[in-house]
Chains A and B, each alone.
Chain A
C-alpha cells in the first residue's frame, strides 16, 4: 500500500468513520476509489476493478456516463438546485416524464434528495391518504436509514440509534409468506405495505410466482396502499423499465432513487397515485426539502429515462442477463457444493454460497481478481451481483473469467482444497 493511501486511511479513521474504515481493511478490501469510468473503478493505488456493485444500480449506465456529464454541464449553464417552493421547469419536466413511463395511475412526483427521503415521503403520503398509521414491511427489508424508513427495516440498523419502532406501528412479516401478510393486514388498520420488488440487502431472494400480485390484492382487500420500492429494481435492471410491472403489479406509490441520476447529481422520486398524493392538493407545504428534486438532478434524470428506454439498451440488458447467466451456470457446475444458488431477474442477481458468511471470501477473492461486488448485509451467504445494463460482451466475458477463479479460490478456502472442482 502506498504512503498516500495509508495516510488517507488514517485520516478517514480520524475524521470520517473509524469503524467502517477498519472493517474494510479487516476483510481484505483496501479500496480507496479514485478515478472511475464506465464499469471500472480505480483504486487510488492504481488497481482497476470491474464494478458489479454499482451502488445498487446507481451506476447502472456506468460511472460518469458521458451523456450524463454532457447534459449536466449543459444544465449547469442555466440552472442550479432551484428554489424548492416554486414551480420549476426541470422538476415539472421530470415529473411529467415519470408519469409517461411509470404504470397507469401514477400522477404526481414528490422529490427527495436520497432514497430514504423518498421512503419517508411514501410512508407519509400513505398515512395521510388512508388516515392510518400502521406500515407493513418484510423482514430484512431495506428502505433507507432515516426516521420512518429505518423502522421498516432490520433492527440491526435502528437499535443502535434507539430508533426502532416502539409503538407497534411497524409490522414485519416474512418475505414470500402470504398468510403472514394477510394476518398483518386483515385488521384493516394498515396504511400501506412497503416492499422492495426484490429485497436487495437481503440478497435478492426472488418472490414466489404470484406473490407480489397477491400482496397487492390483499392491499386492495384490506384498504392498504402498496408502496413499491424500485430503488434497485427500476430503470431497466430487470429487463423492463420497472421490476414491479414485470411482476404484473400496479402500485399506488413508487420509490425511485439511486440510478435515476446515474450518480451524477443526487435526487430521488416518490411517484404517487391521485389518492396517495391527495395532500398535494390540500397542503402542498406539508413537506419541504431544499435539495429535493434539485433541478440539475432533474435534468440528469430526464436524460437517464431517455437513455434507459432506448431499444438498443433493452436488448443489451437481455444479452447481458442471458450471457452472464449461462456463464454462471457453468461456474456453478464446477463448484456445486459451494456455489449453490443463482437468484436472478435481468441483471439483478444474487449468488448464493453454502456457508452463512460465504459471500465474504468470494468478495475478497473477486477483489483480488479485479472485480468489485459486495455481500448482502442482511444475508452474507449471498453475494450481490449487479452488472450494468450497458455491459459490453468483452467485459462480460472478462468478468465471468474472474468470477470463476474467485469462486474457485473461495471454495477451496471455505471447504478445503480437497474438494475444489467438480467434474
Chain B
C-alpha cells in the first residue's frame, strides 16, 4: 500500500481507535466470561488443571526468556516461582468451590457465586511469568475472563506465555478468548482499558504509579502497594538458621519479589554472631565506604536506580565501585538511621540488605514499625524469634498484614514457605491504600448473591433443600442450516442442545434427593 495512504488509514494513535481497541478486546472477554459461567465445577477445574500443566511444563523456558528480556532476576529461581504458580496453585484451591451454591446452615442464607466477569490484569516486569500464570489461573478457577497487560519491559515473554495458556485453555474446552493479552501496551491504551465500563475489576501489580492509576480509573481495583519488609532477629532466635533464611530470601531471584527483606533489625547482643552467620550464608558485610558507595549507586534523586533491580550482588558491588568475592549473594550495609535521611531504609528490589542495631527489643519493634510507616505500609514483615510475646508485640506494632516467622520473607509472605495463600499479588489493605489486606487469590474474583428468608420463616436447613444451578456448559455451535423444504424436525435443535440431558440430570437429582431424605428420616 502506498505509504501516504497507509499512514492516513492508520489511526491507531487516535482516541477513537484506542477506545475501539479496548472495547473490542473487553467485549470479546465479556462473551467468553458469560459463556464460561455456564460451566460446572468439573469442567472448570479440568480447564484450570490442564492450563496449569502446560504452564508448569513451560516454567523453565519462560524463566529464561524473562531473565533474558528484562535482565532481572535468576532464571533458576524464576522457574521455581513459575512452577509454584501453576499446578501447586490449582491444587491449593482445588477443594474450594467457586461454582456451586452454598448454604450457611446457621442463618439459612444461601449463597450463589457470581464471577467478576472481565478482569484486566497488569503484569509487572519483575515477576512477569509467575504473575501471568497466577492471575490467569485465578481467573480460570473462578470462571472469569482475563485480559493480561504486560509491562513493556517484559512484553514478549508475557505475550507468548499468555497466548500459550490461552491455547491450552481452549484445547481443554474453555470458551474462546477467555484469556487475552494486550500485545502492544502503551500508557494511553492501558488507561483506556482501565477506565472502560467494560472492565469489571483491575488486578494491579506493578509500580506505584500504575497501581494508583488503577485505583483512580473509576473501576473496582485490587491493587498492591510497594513493600519494604523489616526483619527482626532477637536473642531467642536460632541465629544461624535466621541468617540462612535471610540470605536465601535476599538471594532468591535477586530480591525482585516485593516481599523480600529490606532492613534487618537486630540487637547489640546478637549483631556480631549474626554477621558471622550471614557471611557464612553468602553475605558480604560492607565497610562504611562501601555502604556509602552503595547508597550513592542505588538511590538517585528520583528514587531507586531501576538499573539495579534484580541484579546480582557481585554486579551491583562492581557498579558501586568495589569488588566482592564471586560467591557473594547478598550485600549487607550497616545503617544508623531508619526513615527520612537514610535512603537505604527504602525498598530495594535487589540483594542489598540494610542492617540496623537497636538497643532493646522494644526499640527494635518501634524501628520496624517506623520503617513500614516510612515506606511499604500494609505489606510484609518478618521476625526470627522463639519468644511468643515478642512475636505478638512485633506483629501488633508493625503496619504489615503478614508477618513471617522463622522463615525467608520473600517466599514466606508470598505463601510458598508458609501456609499463607500462595500468591503473586500481595494485598496491602487499607494501610497500603489497597482494597484487600490478604494474599490475593481466586476467592477475591467472585462475589456471592445471598438469598435470605424472613427471619421468622423457615429457611433451608440443608443443601438438599435448595434448588440447583443450571450449568449447560459450552455454547453449542450454531449450525449453518435452513434449506427450505428441509426444515429441521420439531425440537431437533433442542435435542442437540442437550436439553433432554438437562432434564435427565434434573430427574436424577430429584431421585437422589428423595433417597437421601428417606435415609435421613430413618
Contacts and interface: CB of A to CB of B under 8 A. Distances in A.
Interface of A: 65-67, 69-71, 74-75, 78, 89-90, 92-93, 96-97, 176, 204-208, 238, 246, 299, 302-303, 306-307, 310, 312-313, 315-316, 318-319, 321-326, 329, 332-333, 336, 340-346, 350, 352, 390, 392-394
Given A315-B176, A332-B493, A344-B481, 4 more contacts: A302-B1, A303-B11, A310-B24, A319-B35
Contact of B480 (A67, A206, A310, A324): A206
Nearest to B27: A392
B28 A315 contact: yes
B14 A312 contact: no
Contacts of B392: none
B8 A74 contact: yes
B17 A316 contact: no
B522 interface: no
A206 B481 contact: yes
Nearest to B478: A325
A214 to B, nearest CB: 14
Contact of A333 (B6, B24, B480, B494): B494
Contacts of A394: 30
B31 A313 contact: no
Contacts of B478: 321-322, 324-326, 344, 346
21 contacts: A67-B20, A70-B14, A71-B9, A92-B2, A206-B483, A302-B9, A306-B9, A312-B25, A312-B27, A315-B28, A315-B176, A316-B24, A319-B32, A323-B35, A340-B487, A341-B488, A343-B482, A343-B484, A344-B479, A344-B482, A394-B30
A198 B478 CA distance: 17
A205 to B, nearest CB: 4
Contacts of A90: 5
Interface class of chain A by DSSP: helix
A340 to B, nearest CB: 6
Contacts, number: 135
A208 B486 CA distance: 9
B474 to A, nearest CB: 9
Contacts of A343: 481-482, 484
A99 to B, nearest CB: 11
Nearest to A247: B480
Contact of B497 (A208, A310, A326): A326
B487 A70 contact: no
Contact of A205 (B25, B30, B176, B482): B482
Interface string B453-493: 00000000000000000000001111111111011101101
Nearest to A397: B34
Interface string B191-211: 000000000000000000000
B9 A299 contact: yes
A315 B11 CA distance: 23
B177 A315 contact: yes
The 5 closest A-B pairs by CB, nearest first: A343-B482, A325-B478, A319-B31, A70-B16, A66-B16
Nearest to B499: A333
Contact of A97 (B1, B14, B16, B479): B1
A186 to B, nearest CB: 25
Contact of A312 (B28, B475, B481, B483): B28
A98 B16 CA distance: 25
A393 B1 contact: no
A297 to B, nearest CB: 13
Given A303-B9, A341-B487, A342-B482, A322 B1 contact: no
Interface string B49-64: 0000000000000000
Task: Count chain A CB atoms within 10 A of each CB in B477, B481, B488 and give the residue with the most.
Answer: B481
Contacts of A71: 8-9, 11
Contacts of A93: 1-2, 5-6, 9
B5 A319 contact: no
B491 A393 contact: no
B477 A393 contact: no
A131 to B, nearest CB: 35
B482 A341 contact: yes
A336 B491 contact: yes
Given A70-B11, A303-B9, A322-B477, A204 B482 contact: yes
A57 to B, nearest CB: 17
B295 interface: no
Given A89-B4, A315-B176, A326-B476, A67 B11 contact: yes
A80 to B, nearest CB: 14
B484 A176 contact: yes
Contacts of A390: 24, 27
A70 B20 CA distance: 11
A306 B12 CA distance: 12
B19 interface: yes
Contacts of A205: 482-484
Contacts of B19: 66
Interface size bucket, B side? Answer: 35 or more
A302 B5 contact: yes
A119 B31 CA distance: 37
A322 B475 contact: yes
A176 to B, nearest CB: 7
Contacts of B34: 393
A319 B475 contact: yes
Nearest to A336: B490
Contacts of B480: 206, 238, 246, 344-346
A350 B34 CA distance: 25
Interface in B33-85: 34-35
Interface in B215-274: none
A307 B10 CA distance: 11
A176 B483 contact: yes
Contacts of A346: 478, 480
Contacts of B20: 65-67, 307
Given A67-B17, A352-B487, A393 B27 contact: yes
Contacts of B482: 204-206, 341-345, 350, 352
Contacts of A310: 24
A341 B486 CA distance: 10
A240 to B, nearest CB: 11
Contacts of B475: 319, 322-323, 326
A316 B491 contact: no
Contacts of B30: 392-394
B476 A322 contact: yes
Contacts of B32: 319
A205 B483 CA distance: 6
B445 to A, nearest CB: 19
Contacts of B491: 333, 336
B27 A329 contact: no
Task: Count chain B CB atoms within 10 A of each CB in A66, A70, A312, A392 and give the residue with the most.
Answer: A312
Contacts of B4: 89
Contacts of B481: 206, 342-344
A382 to B, nearest CB: 9
Given A69-B16, A316-B31, A329 B494 contact: yes
Contacts of B8: 71, 74-75, 78, 299
A337 to B, nearest CB: 9
Contacts of A341: 482, 487-488
A207 B482 CA distance: 8
Contacts of B483: 176, 205-208
A319 B33 CA distance: 11
Given A319-B475, A341-B487, A352-B487, A67 B9 contact: no
Contact of B5 (A69, A89, A313, A333): A89
Contacts of A393: 27, 30-31, 34
B38 to A, nearest CB: 10
Contact of A316 (B27, B35, B486): B27
A312 to B, nearest CB: 4
A111 to B, nearest CB: 16
A313 B23 CA distance: 11
A234 to B, nearest CB: 16
Contacts of A69: 16
